[in-house]
Structure 1
Amino acid sequence: MGEVIREKVQDGVTGETRDMQYTQCKIVGNGSFGVVFQTKLSPSGEDAAIKRVLQDKRFKNRELQIMRIVRHPNIVELKAFYYSNGERKDEVYLNLVQEYVPETVYRASRYFNKMKTTMPILEVKLYIYQLFRALAYIHSQGICHRDIKPQNLLLDPSTGVLKLCDFGSAKILVENEPNVSYICSRYYRAPELIFGATNYTTKIAIDAMVHPFFDELRNPSTRLPDSRHPNGPIKDLPILFDFSRHDDDDFDRRPQRRRYEEPLSVKVRRQLLSIAESALKRVEDEIVSIAKTVCDNYEDEELRNSFYDLVIQLVVEQPFKTPFVAAVVLVVNTMRAEMVAEILKRATERVNTCVQMGEWRETKLLMKFLGGLQGALEGDGVWLVLQDLLSKAIDLQTENNEETIGPELVKIILFTIPYIMASSATDMQEKAAGMVENADIIASEPHVLQALVDPYPGNGNEEATAPNGVLSLLQKQLQGEAANGWELSCLPRPWKVLLETEQENPLASTTKHPLPAIVIPEAVTAGPRPLFPELYFSVYAHQDVETVPPMTDIASCLLRDALVDTINILDFNRNATARFLIDIDCYFSPDTFVKRATPFDRLRDVEGDKSTWKPEDVAVDAVFSQLFQLPSPEHKLVYYHSILTESCKLAPAAIAPSLGRAIRFLYRNVDSMDLELSYRFMDWFAHHLSNFGFTWKWTEWIDDVELPGTDPKKAFIEGALDKEIRLSFAQRIKGTLPAPYQQLITEGKEKDTPDFKYNDDGSKSLSHVLSSIERCRERLLAIGPRSSDARKQIIDSVMDYWKDQPGIGVNIVDKLLNYTILSPGSVIEWAVSQHGNRLSMSYVYEMVSLTIGKVTGRTRQVVRSSKVPGLTAEQRTLVVQSMQAERKSMKDLFALMEDSLVSWATGSKDQVMQSGDGTSDEEAVIRQWGERWLRVFRRKYAVEEAWFVEVEKVPVIDVAPGEGVLANGNADKVDEVEMKDDENIPEITA
């Protein structure tokens, strides 16, 4: 076995230094550039492989750089690395500690050859599939392995898992940058390398990957050319393939599989769906190719209809591609004008439907597309529609200045104008300037509800972002663009491919189409999504180097708009969304961003007026803007968590540093942030760390550990650790923390179940708790409703028992609410009525928020049931009575919250007045907590009231007795009617 060796190593992922012990067992591999040892790590006994290569001090090791960023089930994992000295004075060796996999495809192939048989086809398929997965992953990162061969394909016989190893020849390929052709082992070298190509792509790996599984086809009569000595004497070089088995005598006369030819409509669909996604293809060539294929096959009805449908679908589902799809349509217009007329007809029909339904986001996306086609429209074209929208917005705001539909219409107008000005219609400057000026009457005025959704209320921190409404911000930016000649440098202009023709003025000779009518109805609806003023939120504000567009640049709003729409539209596929975010630089002008994954420190070296905007920062910023959207995001919070996680997994070298800077910004401003957002940040932070081994640079916040428990930063740290423990277990989390943090995880938190003076048979299982409550339900119901003191005692008993694991206590209180053993009012009184320090505890906010959510959800469900059509008058009366009772209970609950929190916020609470004169630091902090709580729950109440106002506008239809859809049933079953997008919320009493 040998002696135990101790080394200081750096972690393969984080780079953090730690101690490692191992026993050097034996050499298991020798190569041209290094040696591989099989080792056993101590004290775990885990097998590992250490690859030792000579390190040239003048250069960084490319293999190490690549191994640190790749993470995939079919790629060998880098555990750690360290440097060691050689026998000579200046010799330095790099040691890569990797997972150990016992076998290779090479040895497996030799075994089957020895047994005079071939590898089973099932195993061949399994291994090729896994190899393809590994290649697809590294190719998506731009990495070319350049040494695919059987010896570098590791196999685990016990599991059948294949892993790609040896990235010593690998390289991240850069377009138009030459590479050496003398690369790859000669047996597996691609044809283009054999002939000396230096400008190759990752496709060389596809050629190489087939060979390891077909070695038996080789024949000594076929030789590879000698690329080293092309004019020298013929040497005995490696063989290529043996095709003798395909002679006529051995011809296989069984029916052969029919060659599959992809239908033309499928091919065009694939090309259009992937337009602009690859930086290796010239997008103008893609546009012309698609347009030409469609027009040349105009008689193919399936192709034609598929193209029409896909154009509209692509515009409303992948907003990044709008300028490119519009360019395809413009090129089609030069060949088949009748196709453009049909597209315009379908697009305007879709717009009319969206306007009627209140689908304002889809309306905006379609208007941007039509704006990109302005050059193909007769007369004023889209401008007439924008004028109608503006007139309707002004009418709505005149009637009611709290109306949210008017600003939404103006937002559609302002986001459409840049796409018109970046289109082939180059003579619209006056119309654009006039429209921007006319929209100023609405856009420049802050909405009355804007203060309600400010992420930094009363912010005294200079670094935090001051509130800026997106509408007023965009208005100012457009005025600036009008003064600068509508440069709009971030928007691509792929339509300029039309100017590359030999024709002198191709745009003037194309057919101009009338825009079909778009009708704005007299009565417009807010639509399915609640509308609130949108504020511009950024986690990269006030950096010494700009990594995102400043708010003075229109790119900030245009990029954010496209990103936010993409994120919220593609909620059904987080992986696709993450991929779009990473590839954002493909969809805008070439000089808009710096190169992906450029380190922040290197941005200071960017010369002249070149952009320093990092594409990953812009993408992450957009996700956080939705995660921190007030009063509520469009989708569940976990969706935005998952996007950041998937993005980090797809491009760790780019996304991880961006997230680190975002976390530091949010933490610095956690005390001035809206309370609800600070808890969203806490939830995401803990969840994100759980996906990456719970690792974070906690040493940066060590000074805050000694702060009092009511300090917002200390409260954040304690709350985040509690969330982490819920997602794992205390001992593991404790092991990830520096020494000063150890005190925060007490001995009680490390116990599976708390100590109890009575019998404690059972477990932490929720089903066990529910069964216990069921057994004692009658007795608890006799005790709980008797008095408020009894209910408080029940909550005290639960939370005292689970004081070290408060998340379990919150869950149990929630179940007691369902059984009506506790009332919502008793939970509120327990949480906010007596102890001011409870306001700083994350689990108390969680308990109150869940309780309020349960009450408001139940009330909404009952209100919706009152709008069910087809009820009889008697049924309607019963439902209305139930609704009024629920609304009163909800108002009483919010009134109780208001009374309790106002006392804390103003310092007039009895406990505060008795403890001091209100001037101490602790009392000031408690008042701050009271103000933050008060703002959150005032907002929640305002949102509920606004929702009720909108629901009241919905007309209902009653029927005569005996004719209703529920006439044969019981009126008390109305509550059981299924409500869209609502969960079943148990009945609870206030």
Structure 2
Amino acid sequence: MSYERRGGYRRRPRDDYDDRRREPYETPEEKLKTAIIKLGEVDAVEELPRLQKQIRDFVPVNVANISEAIRTGVTEQPYKIPYYAALILLLHDRPEESTSSEEAPPLGRLVLEDFWKGFQAYLDKLAWRETRLCIHFFAHLTIARLISPESLVALLQAFTAVLDEFGVSHGRAKRAALCAAEGLIIGGPSLKHYSATSVTEIIGAIQAFNDTTNSAKWLVQPSVKVFSDAVAIENADELLDTVLFALKTLNDSNFAQTAESFPQPYTNLPAPPADVAPFNLPSVLVPPEIIELDALSTEADAEDTAQVKKEEWPEYFLRIFDNDISPDPNTPAGYAVRTALLDIISIFEVNRKECARLLLEYPKWNLPGAFKPKPGAPTPSDVEPVAGKDWQLESTIIETILGALLVLPESSHKSVYYISLITELCKLSPSTVGPAVGKSIRKLYGSLSEGLDVEASRRFAEWFAVHMSNFGFQWVWKEWVPDLELAVQHPRRTFMRRAIEFEIRLSYHERIAKTLPEAMQSPNAHTIPEQAPGPNFEYDDPTNPHHDAAQSVLNLFRGRAKAEDVIAHLDSLKTTLEGAEDAPLSVNVDATVRSIALQSLLHIGSRSFSHLLNAIERYLPLLRNITSSTEGKAEILSASAAFWKGNRQMVGIVFDKLMQYQIVDPTDVVAWTFANRAGGLDAFEWDLMRGAIDKANGRVVIARRRVAALRKEEDDVRARDNAAGAMDVDAEGDGAAKPAESLVDNPALATALKAFTSLTREQKGALSRTLEGFVNALSPADSDASAVTPNAHTRTVITESAWLNRANWDDEEWNAWQTWGWYRQFCRVYSPYLRNYSTTLYTVSFARLEGSENPAAELLTKTWNVATGQDLS
């Protein structure tokens, strides 16, 4: 074999050794840490003695390493917490060969002391999830008699003290209440024996806080009952309600059901040595919330000083299946299962495949007999179904994921995560997860006519469409053909249209049409468009009277003419149209010219997103010229919607780009949406408004950060100058510092403050216009706000008697119901911003409704008061 010389050296042949990848080297400490974290990969109970021996054989003992490994396992694998508690108990046993038992504390005690330091760090950072899981660990150790009950009671009381803080936010109080409640659920048997009074006080404190959240629950319940103040619903459970139900059930039975709800492997191990006193958890105080204020107040707008903080609401989780299929979260065992599954879903968001695997393996970490065995799996003879359990694992998992997805007003994670997680579950076990998904879809579809919230319905449609796209768009649509007899705006028919629209976006029109029954393909079914989504250039038709004029403008765009030349041509075109003898008197020449210009530009950009952006950027001067007035902005929005009327997704994209390049303002988009809605407000129009409001809010956030950065930079410069001036002393050496010279105002900061003020005004305008639009759409039309207009369904509240008669509703009533639903979503999702401007917005939008006894006016005001924190009943 000959070798070529390249670059002055001879290449030598590679052997197998060169291709080998060197495995990363693990130190003995890292191996021990990995072993602790991987506890229970096969059988946790059998592995515990071996792991104990491995830890004891490691010399020298590194307590911090062992503690860190257990802390990682507790906070990232919470389903293993009972087994880590058992490991700590085993580490309390003194080796038989030990001769210094009286001098050195047991290893388990040392690990526990170091573990507490990590818990304190979590608490100081207000890492609520890690803090709560550590409390689970302490509660299990209390049952194992390694932690004193009195110290655990004091720890839980430190969290209930948060509930009595003045002005405590709902999010902080809810998390503190869960820490105390779940610690009591697990450690209750020991705590009740120690002090029944303390247990009652903890439950009472949580109940007292929960009673103050009734109005907030009314606004976020997933089944809309706009006619009723009642918050008790049958198909959903609120988080704090369920934990209180479970606590009260346990307390009434002296916590006898705790052992039936949580694994307690440490109860089968020998008790800790008699000479080892229980560990006393040090006393703690829950740190206060960090409230940052931006000193951005101006003379014109002094109320906008507080940085907007996302408001948190009570969490309602939809129930899909009956209690014999999935556990009832109002019971101790059911609450334990749902909490464990939610923790897995939240922690493993970074790896959905691992999350899916762990969810399907969850029964091995629960008590035997809680779930039905997989089909064909051998059932141990000594394991019998537990009374009231024997649930279906896959149905329980899907119900938990969908419940988290449909939490209002916003889910904890992005919708795409929950959707992709369900997809991974179907791939891992299609034969068992698939039927559970199908049953869930049918159950949710059935709830659409029972008042399922419009936002939850929208997310359901998105999940359905994406899930179908992952599995060949296979669905039994013929099951829903009878529903085509319902009103066109009925929620079920609205869901069909929305889901099919999403499916077409994910595939193409012809393929989706072939999956539908013939009855759904008919134009009279109003289910699927007759044509595939595409542009609609109305001036492309030679019979259009403005065809020639549009072609001349189109040719200029195709030739990449300068914006000034196009503007000049449009001016001459306007003159020509005004002087035409056959021009109808009703034609608005300015609107026609704007429509021709914009539709021609969109026609050039309709080939791709890059073509659209290039066209807009090239002709920004033209777009600003034709939108110099409010009417001009509204007209180009109408022209954009007309051009893309066959593809509503593109309407939202074009509107977003027009706002991005500041051709139109968010307020213009909101005003156009209300002016052009057909009947009620549907999900598409809500998406347009939401995009506009989010754009305005996002600009304010960016401007605020810019001002904060410049302020910090200026403060740093001033501090350095002051420090330099303090070092200068007078000639006589009396030590007096010379006054620092005044700094020249920062031009960049002044510009940023001006921009912030302008964008804040824009934000307030978008919120005000949205609120005003809803109030005008839903309040009485007459000048007398107390007048009742029974024939204007969109302007009156839907009464309870009318709701019970919803089977006979027509499109008008369902349009009204949708509009009320989107008003609720607007108030709850933007409540932090509405609170900032509550006084101004209320004066502008609700002044004429004051004193009104009209049900619609009362409901509008009540919803507003709840969202802005003025109704705390």
CA distance in 2, matches of 1:761, 1:391: 64
Counterpart check, 1:272 vs 2:36: yes
| Offset of residue 727 of structure 1 | 0.8
Paired residue type of 2:135: M
Q: Corresponding residue for 2:516? A: 737
Is 1:721 the counterpart of 2:500? The answer is yes
Greater mean alpha carbon deviation, residues 545-554 or residues 853-862: 545-554
Distance change >3 Å, CA 907–CA 518, structure 1 → 2: same
Would the alpha carbon gap of residues 903 and 762 (structure 1) be closer, same or farther in structure 2, given more than 3 Å must change? Answer: closer
- The 1-side partners of 2:697 and 2:73 are apart by 38
Residue 693 of structure 1 deviates from its aligned partner by 0.9
Name stretches of at least 5 consecutive residues in structure 1 with no aligned partner. Answer: 1-121, 126-255, 500-505, 600-605, 950-990
Query: Which of 258, 275, 282 pairs up with 1:517?
Result: 282
Q: Per-residue displacement from partner, 1:217-271 (whole Å, max 9, x unpaired)?
A: xxxxxxxxxxxxxxxxxxxxxxxxxxxxxxxxxxxxxxx9999998654554444
**Cα-to-partner distance string for 1:368-419 (whole Å, 9 max, x where unaligned):** 111221221246232221122223322x1xx237654233212210011122
CA distance, structure 2, for counterparts of residue 258 and residue 351 of structure 1: 37
Structure possessing the higher relative contact order (Cα contacts under 8 Å, 6 or more residues apart): 2
The residue number in structure 1 matching 2:823 is 934
Tell me the equivalent position of 2:320.
Answer: 540
Q: Is the 8 Å Cα contact of residues 907 and 927 (structure 1) preserved in structure 2? A: no
* CA distance in 2 between partners of 1:727 and 1:257 (Å): 41
Displacement of 1:424 in angstroms is 12
What's the counterpart of residue 710 of structure 1? 489
The change in CA–CA distance for 1:360 and 1:522 in structure 2 (over 3 A counts) is closer
SS in 2 for 1:936: helix
Q: State how far apart, in whole Å, the 1-side matches of 2:400 and 2:344 are.
A: 10
Contact 1:694 1:733 in 2 (8 A): yes
Residue 458 of structure 1 aligns to a residue in which SS?
coil
Distance in 1 (alpha carbons) for counterparts of 2:26 and 2:833 = 54
Task: Give 1:870-949 correspondences, 5 Å limit.
Answer: 870-872=712-714, 874=745, 879-906=752-779, 908=781, 917-918=791-792, 921-945=810-834
Is 2:529 the partner of 1:746? yes
Give the deviation of 1:518 after TM superposition: 4.4
Aligned twin of 2:269: 498
Alignment of 1:636 with 2:414, yes or no, is yes
Supply the distance in 2 between the matched residues of 1:745 and 1:645 (Cα, whole angstroms): 26
Q: Which whole-Å CA distance do the structure 1 matches of 2:467 and 2:80 have between them?
A: 30
Normalising by structure 2, report the TM-score: 0.70
Question: Structure 2: which amino acid aligns with 1:326?
Answer: A
| CA deviation after TM superposition for structure 1 residue 765, in Å | 0.7
Name the CA distance, whole Å, in 2 between partners of 1:290 and 1:651. Answer: 32
Q: Structure 1 residues 608, 640: CA separation in 2 closer, same or farther (over 3 Å shift)?
A: closer
**Cα distance between partner residues in 2 of 1:627 and 1:891:** 30
Q: Distance in 2 between matches of 1:608 and 1:326?
A: 24
Q: How does the TM-score come out when normalised to structure 1?
A: 0.62
Question: SS of 1:517's equivalent?
Answer: coil
Aligned to 1:390: 160
For 1:355 and 1:472, the matched residues in 2 are separated by 25
| Aligned equivalents of 2:207, 2:285: Cα separation in 1 | 21
Matched, 1:311 2:200: no
- Does the CA-based 8 Å contact 1:473-1:551 persist in structure 2? yes
Q: Which moved more, 1:268-277 or 1:365-374?
A: 268-277
1:459-608 → structure 2 map (5 Å cutoff): 465=234, 468-486=237-255, 487-488=257-258, 489-499=260-270, 506-507=271-272, 509=274, 511-520=276-285, 523-525=288-290, 530=310, 532-541=312-321, 543=322, 546-596=324-374
User: For residues 621-675 of structure 1, what are the alpha-carbon distances to aligned partners after superposition, in whole Å with 9 as ceiling and x for unaligned?
Assistant: 2222221222322322211211111111111122211111221222222352222
Kindly report the root-mean-square deviation, in angstroms, between the aligned alpha carbons of the 2 structures.
3.7
Equivalent pair of 2:626/2:632 in contact (CA under 8 Å): yes
Given that residues 355 and 524 in structure 1 are in contact (C-alpha distance below 8 angstroms), is that contact kept between their aligned partners in structure 2? no
In the alignment, is the contact (CA less than 8 A) between 1:866 and 1:879 conserved in 2?
yes
Note the residue ranges of structure 2 that are not aligned, 5 or more in a row: 1-13, 96-104, 293-307, 378-383, 542-550, 555-602, 716-744, 794-808, 839-873
- Residues 325/754 of structure 1: CA separation in 2 closer, same or farther (3 Å cut): farther
- Per-residue deviation, 1:818: 0.9
Whether 2:681 is the aligned partner of 1:839: answer: yes
Aligned length: 669
Equivalent residue, structure 2, for 1:968: none
Structure 1 residue aligned with 2:125: 357
State whether residues 423 and 493 of structure 1, in contact with CA within 8 Å, keep that contact through their aligned partners in structure 2: no
Is contact 1:594-1:614 (8 Å) kept? Answer: yes
Structure 2 distance, partners of 1:844, 1:797, is 16
Match of 2:86 among 327, 352, 369: 327
The alpha-carbon distance between structure 1 residues 443 and 907, as it changes in their structure 2 partners (threshold 3 A), is: closer
CA deviation profile, 1:467-493 (whole Å, cap 9, x unmatched) = 643223212221111222321212101
Confirm or deny: 8 A CA contact 1:372 1:424 kept in the other structure. Answer: no
Classify the secondary structure of the residue corresponding to 1:826.
helix
Residues 725, 733 of structure 1: 8 Å contact kept: yes
**Contact in 2 for aligned 1:785/1:822 (Cα 8 Å):** no
Q: Which residue of 2 aligns with 1:235?
A: none
Change (3 A) 1:898 1:459: closer
Q: 1:849 aligns to what?
A: 690
- 1:294-348 deviation digits (Å, cap 9, x = unpaired): 12325254xx544321110111112111111111111112247543233323332
Secondary structure, counterpart of 2:628 in structure 1? helix
Judging by fraction of residues, say which structure has more helix.
2
Aligned to 1:861: 702
The 3 A distance-change label for structure 1 pair 578 and 379 is closer
Measured at CA, do residues 762 and 409 of structure 1 come closer, stay the same or move farther in structure 2, by a change above 3 Å? closer
Between the aligned partners of 2:210 and 2:791, the Cα distance in structure 1 is 46
8 A Cα contact 2:679 2:812, kept in partner: no
Distance between the aligned counterparts of 1:257 and 1:818, measured in 2? Answer: 49
Partner of 2:628 in structure 1? 785
Q: CA deviation at 1:292?
A: 2.1
Higher strand share: 1
Q: Distance in 2 between matches of 1:258 and 1:722?
A: 51
Q: Which residue of 1 aligns with 2:430?
A: 652
Shift of the 785–662 alpha-carbon distance from structure 1 to 2, 3 Å rule, reads: farther
How far, CA to CA, are the matches of 1:390 and 1:653 in structure 2? 46
For 1:579, what is the secondary structure of its paired residue? Answer: helix
Query: Using the alignment, how far apart are the partners of 2:261 and 2:767 within structure 1?
Result: 47
Match of 2:39, SS state, is: coil
Structure 1 counterpart of 2:315, one-letter code: L
CA distance in 1, matches of 2:437, 2:190: 35
Q: Secondary structure at the residue paired with 2:223?
A: coil
Where does 1:126-205 land on structure 2 (aligned, <5 Å)? Answer: none
For residues 348 and 767 of structure 1, what CA distance do their matches in structure 2 show? 56
Residue 381 in structure 1 maps to residue 141 in structure 2: no
Distance, in Å, in 2 between the alignment partners of 1:370 and 1:946 is 39
- Cα distance in 2, alignment partners of residues 821 and 684 from structure 1: 34
Provide the C-alpha distance between the structure 2 equivalents of 1:257 and 1:680, rounded to a whole number of angstroms. 46
Q: Within 2, Cα distance between the matches of 1:610 and 1:673?
A: 29
Post-superposition shift, 1:763? 4.9
How far does residue 495 in structure 1 lie from its aligned partner after superposition? 0.7
C-alpha spacing 1:598/1:749, structure 2 compared with 1 (3 Å): farther
Whether contact under 8 Å (1:806, 1:843) holds in the other structure is yes
Is the partner of 1:935 in helix, strand or coil?
helix
2: distance between equivalents of 1:496 and 1:340?
A: 17
Distance in 1 separating the partners of 2:454 and 2:190: 44
Helix, strand or coil at the partner of 2:269: helix
Equivalent in the alignment of 1:144? none
Find the aligned partners of 1:668 and 1:754 in 2 and give their Cα distance: 40
